[in-house]
Chains A and B, each alone.
With several copies, the nearest count.
Chain A
Amino acid sequence: MKKFVNDPKQFVPDMLEGLALANPGTLTYDPASNLIMRVDAPVPGKVSILQGSGSGHEPAHVMAVGPGMLDGACPGDVFAAPPMDYVLAATRRLATEAGLVYIVNNYTGDRMAFEMAQELAEAEGIKVRTVIVDDDVAVDNSTFTVGRRGVAGNFFVIKAMGAAAERGADIDEVVRVGEHVNSVTRSMGMALTSCTPPAKGTPIFELGETEAEMGVGIHGEPGRERVQVRSASEIVDDLLDAIVSDLPFAAGDRVALMVNGLGGTPISELYLLYGLAHKNLVGRGIEIARNYVGEYCTSLDMAGASLTLVRLDEEIDELFGAPAAVPIRVF
Chain B
Amino acid sequence: MSTSKAVETMVLAISETAISNESYFCELDAVAGDGDFGFSLARGFEVVLDTWEQLDRDSNAAFLRRIATIITSRTGGTSGPIWGTAFLRAAGSLADADATSGGPSDAAAALRASIKGIMDRGKATVGDKTLLDALVPAADALERAAAENLPLSLALERTAQAARAGAEATRDLEAKRGRASYTGARSVGSLDPGAVAVALMTEEIARRLVDFESIASASPTSEEPT
Instruction: Say whether A112 contacts B186, CB under 8 Å.
Output: no
Instruction: Say whether B34 contacts A220, CB under 8 Å.
Output: yes
Instruction: Say whether A222 contacts B78, CB under 8 Å.
Output: no
**Docked complex Cα distance between A250 and B177 (Å):** 33
A331 within 8 A of partner (CB): no
B220 within 8 A of partner (CB): no
**Residue of B with least CB distance to A199:** B39
**Docked complex Cα distance between A80 and B186 (Å):** 22
B176 within 8 A of partner (CB): yes
Instruction: Say whether A108 contacts B177, CB under 8 Å.
Output: yes
Tell me the smallest distance from the CB of B82 to a CB of chain A, in Å: 7
Instruction: Say whether A205 contacts B30, CB under 8 Å.
Output: yes
Instruction: Say whether A143 contacts B184, CB under 8 Å.
Output: yes
Instruction: Say whether A85 contacts B72, CB under 8 Å.
Output: yes
Task: Identify which of residues 156-174 in chain B touch chain A, using a CB-to-CB cut-off of 8 Å.
Answer: none
Residues of A in contact (CB 8 Å), total: 37
Q: Chain A residues near B26: list those with CB within 8 A.
A: 199-200
**Docked complex Cα distance between A20 and B181 (Å):** 36
B225 within 8 A of partner (CB): no
**Residue of A with least CB distance to B79:** A109
B77 within 8 A of partner (CB): yes
Instruction: Say whether A221 contacts B81, CB under 8 Å.
Output: no
Tell me the smallest distance from the CB of B124 to a CB of chain A, in Å: 9
Tell me the smallest distance from the CB of B32 to a CB of chain A, in Å: 7
Instruction: Say whether A112 contacts B72, CB under 8 Å.
Output: no
Q: Chain B residues near A144: list those with CB within 8 A.
A: 176, 181-182, 184
B144 within 8 A of partner (CB): no
Instruction: Say whether A81 contacts B122, CB under 8 Å.
Output: no
A219 within 8 A of partner (CB): yes
B contact residues, range: 35 or more
Instruction: Say whether A83 contacts B76, CB under 8 Å.
Output: yes
Q: Contact check: which of B32, B80, B177 meets A81 at CB < 8 Å? A: B80
A178 within 8 A of partner (CB): no
CB contacts between A and B, total, < 8 Å? 124
Instruction: Say whether A219 contacts B80, CB under 8 Å.
Output: no
Q: Chain A residues near B84: list those with CB within 8 A.
A: 84
Instruction: Say whether A80 contacts B39, CB under 8 Å.
Output: yes
0/1 interface trace, chain A 82-106, chain B, CB 8 Å (1 if under): 1111100000000000000000000
Q: Chain B residues near A76: list those with CB within 8 A.
A: 76-77
**Residue of B with least CB distance to A217:** B182
Tell me the smallest distance from the CB of B73 to a CB of chain A, in Å: 4
A153 within 8 A of partner (CB): no
A284 within 8 A of partner (CB): no
Instruction: Say whether B80 contacts A109, CB under 8 Å.
Output: yes
**Docked complex Cα distance between A219 and B78 (Å):** 13
B74 within 8 A of partner (CB): yes
Q: Chain B residues near A78: list those with CB within 8 A.
A: 36, 39
Instruction: Say whether A221 contacts B72, CB under 8 Å.
Output: no
A binding-site residues for B, Cβ under 8 Å? 9, 54, 76-86, 107-109, 112-113, 116, 138-139, 143-146, 149, 197, 199-200, 204-205, 217, 219-223
B binding-site residues for A, Cβ under 8 Å? 23, 26, 30, 32-36, 39-40, 43, 72-82, 84, 121-123, 176-184, 186
3 smallest beta-carbon distances between A and B, as pairs: A76-B76, A80-B76, A219-B34
